[in-house]
């Protein structure tokens, strides 16, 4: 079985309409997950904890794509 690692991280953005962090030293690393479903659950939990702060944003990074940048992944491939 192929392992598809995902990193969940977030922090305060300069503006709610940008993806630039206000302070990269304060980025919250939620964790590394072996599949998209568990990463999504972690992302959702982190995002819900900060839902009242428009400047806070969490992301899912597809680490497995960094390992093999030549290969394009389909959207359904992420689901399992």
Q: What is the 3-state secondary structure (H, E, C) of the chain?
A: CCCCCEEEEEEEECCCCCCCECCHHHCEEEEEECCHHHHHHHHHHHHHHCCCCCCEEEEEEEHHHHHCCCCCCCHHHHHC
* Residue 22 reports pLDDT greater than 90: yes
6-79 folds as: Alpha-Beta Plaits (3.30.70)
Percent residues over pLDDT 70 in the chain: 80
Please tell me the pTM assigned to this model.
0.76
* pLDDT attached to residue 65: 74
* Residue 27 reports pLDDT greater than 60: yes
pLDDT tens profile 58-79:
999 998 777 655 666 555 455 5
């Amino acid at each position: 079985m192929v392992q598809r690692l995902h990193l969940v991280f977030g922090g305060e953005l300069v503006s709610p309409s940008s993806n630039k962090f206000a302070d990269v030293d304060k980025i919250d690393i939620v964790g590394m997950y072996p599949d998209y479903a568990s990463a999504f659950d972690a992302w959702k939990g982190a995002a819900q904890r900060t839902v009242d702060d428009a400047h806070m944003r969490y992301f899912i990074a597809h680490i497995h794509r960094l390992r093999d940048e030549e290969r394009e992944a389909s959207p359904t491939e992420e689901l399992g």
